[in-house]
Structure 1
Amino acid sequence: MTVMTYLYISPRDPLIARDGRPFGSGQSNRMRCLDWFYPSVLAGSLRTMVGKSLGYQFDTNQVALLKSIEVAGPLPCRDNRLYAPAPLDCVIQRDPDRAIALRPAPLKDGEGTNLPEPGLQPCQMPRDVEEGFKPGTGPPFWRMDRIADWLADTDGRSCSVPPRVPLDAGNTDYLDPVRDQRVHVALDAATGAAREHMLFTSEGIVLPEGVGISARVKAPDGNAQALSGLDALHSFGGERRIARFQVTDHSQIWSCPEKVRQALKGGNFVRMILATPAVFAGGWKPGWLDEHLEGSPPGCRLRLRLMGACVDRWRPVSGWSLEPPRGPKAIRRLAPAGSVYFFKVTDGETTDSLASLWLESVCDEEQARRDGFGLTLWGVWSPHQEG
Structure 2
Amino acid sequence: MNYFVLNPLDPLVIRSSRPFEAISDADAAKFPPPSTIAGALRNVHGRSKGIDFTNNDKLKALLEVPVTGPLAVKISVDQSIDTLGQAHILVPKPADAQYFSVDGKNTMVGLQPAQPNEDEGCDLPNGLLPLFLSQDIQGKPIGGPKWWSLTDLLAWRGGKNLDFSTVQHNGWTPTEPDIRTHIERDNETRNSVDGQIFQTTGLTMWQQPEQLQNFPNERVAILAGIDGKVSLQAMNLGGERRLAEVEVCNLWPKPPANFAQDIINAGGLTLTFLTPSIFKQGWRPDWLDEETLIGTPPGCAPLQLKLKAAALDRWQPQSGWDLASNKPRASERMIPAGATYWFEIVKDTATAQAIETLWMAHLCDNPQHNLNGFGLTLPMAYSWNESNIK
Q: Where on the TM-score scale, by shorter chain, does this alignment land: which range? A: 0.7 to 0.9
Aligned residue in 2 for 1:91: 98
Aligned residue in 1 for 2:313: 312
Aligned residue in 2 for 1:17: 14
Aligned residue in 2 for 1:137: 143
Is the contact between residue 39 and residue 371 of structure 1 (CA under 8 Å) also seen in structure 2? yes
- 1:136–1:259 CA distance, 2 compared to 1 (3 A): farther
Aligned residue in 1 for 2:201: 203
- 1:71–1:385 CA distance, 2 compared to 1 (3 A): closer
**1:356 is paired with a residue of what secondary structure?**
helix
Aligned residue in 2 for 1:322: 323
Aligned residue in 1 for 2:73: 77
**1:55 alignment partner, one of 51, 57, 64:** 51
Aligned residue in 2 for 1:335: 335
In the alignment, is residue 40 of structure 1 matched against residue 48 of structure 2?
Answer: no
Aligned residue in 1 for 2:211: none
Deviation of 1:194 after TM superposition, in Å, equals: 2.8
Deviations 1:182-213 (Å, cap 9, x if unpaired)? 11222112233333443211101111133211
2-structure distance, mates of 1:52, 1:191:
38
Is the contact between residue 112 and residue 388 of structure 2 (CA under 8 Å) also seen in structure 1? no
Aligned residue in 1 for 2:272: 273
2-structure distance, mates of 1:285, 1:85:
20
Deviations 1:3-28 (Å, cap 9, x if unpaired)? x2111101010011116xx8579x97
Number of matched residues?
Answer: 358
Deviation of 1:29 after TM superposition, in Å, equals: 9.6
**1:110 alignment partner, one of 105, 115, 119:** 119
Paired letter, 1:103: Q
Paired letter, 1:211: V
CA RMSD of aligned residues (A): 2.6
In the alignment, is residue 365 of structure 1 matched against residue 382 of structure 2?
Answer: no
Paired letter, 2:61: L
Is the contact between residue 316 and residue 331 of structure 1 (CA under 8 Å) also seen in structure 2? yes
Deviation of 1:320 after TM superposition, in Å, equals: 2.4
Deviation of 1:93 after TM superposition, in Å, equals: 2.8
1-structure distance, mates of 2:270, 2:351:
11
1-structure distance, mates of 2:274, 2:310:
15
2-structure distance, mates of 1:73, 1:187:
38
1-structure distance, mates of 2:116, 2:93:
27
Aligned residue in 1 for 2:129: 121
Deviation of 1:373 after TM superposition, in Å, equals: 0.2
2-structure distance, mates of 1:164, 1:17:
29
- 1:262–1:58 CA distance, 2 compared to 1 (3 A): farther
**1:6 alignment partner, one of 3, 8, 20:** 3
Deviations 1:229-284 (Å, cap 9, x if unpaired)? x242211011211111122222xx33223375564342212101110000111111
Q: Mark the runs of 5 or more structure 2 residues left unpaired by the alignment.
A: 76-83, 207-217
Deviations 1:90-141 (Å, cap 9, x if unpaired)? 12232344432211112222322222x2221111113x404x5433322001
1-structure distance, mates of 2:9, 2:389:
52
Deviation of 1:142 after TM superposition, in Å, equals: 0.6
Paired letter, 2:74: R
Paired letter, 1:201: Q
2-structure distance, mates of 1:138, 1:29:
22
**1:48 is paired with a residue of what secondary structure?**
helix
1-structure distance, mates of 2:71, 2:55:
31
Is the contact between residue 51 and residue 58 of structure 2 (CA under 8 Å) also seen in structure 1? no
Deviation of 1:69 after TM superposition, in Å, equals: 0.9
Bigger fraction of residues in helix: 2
1-structure distance, mates of 2:69, 2:321:
21
Is the contact between residue 41 and residue 237 of structure 1 (CA under 8 Å) also seen in structure 2? yes
1-structure distance, mates of 2:308, 2:314:
19
Is the contact between residue 263 and residue 382 of structure 2 (CA under 8 Å) also seen in structure 1? no
Paired letter, 1:174: G
**2:313 is paired with a residue of what secondary structure?**
coil
Identical-pair percentage: 30
Is the contact between residue 270 and residue 343 of structure 1 (CA under 8 Å) also seen in structure 2? yes
1-structure distance, mates of 2:280, 2:342:
18
- 1:113–1:386 CA distance, 2 compared to 1 (3 A): closer
TM-score if structure 1 supplies the norm length? Answer: 0.84
TM-score if structure 2 supplies the norm length? Answer: 0.84
Is the contact between residue 29 and residue 199 of structure 1 (CA under 8 Å) also seen in structure 2? no
**1:343 is paired with a residue of what secondary structure?**
strand
Is the contact between residue 273 and residue 378 of structure 2 (CA under 8 Å) also seen in structure 1? yes
Paired letter, 1:189: N
1-structure distance, mates of 2:132, 2:55:
52
Q: Mark the runs of 5 or more structure 1 residues left unpaired by the alignment.
A: none
Aligned residue in 2 for 1:176: 173
2-structure distance, mates of 1:260, 1:334:
28
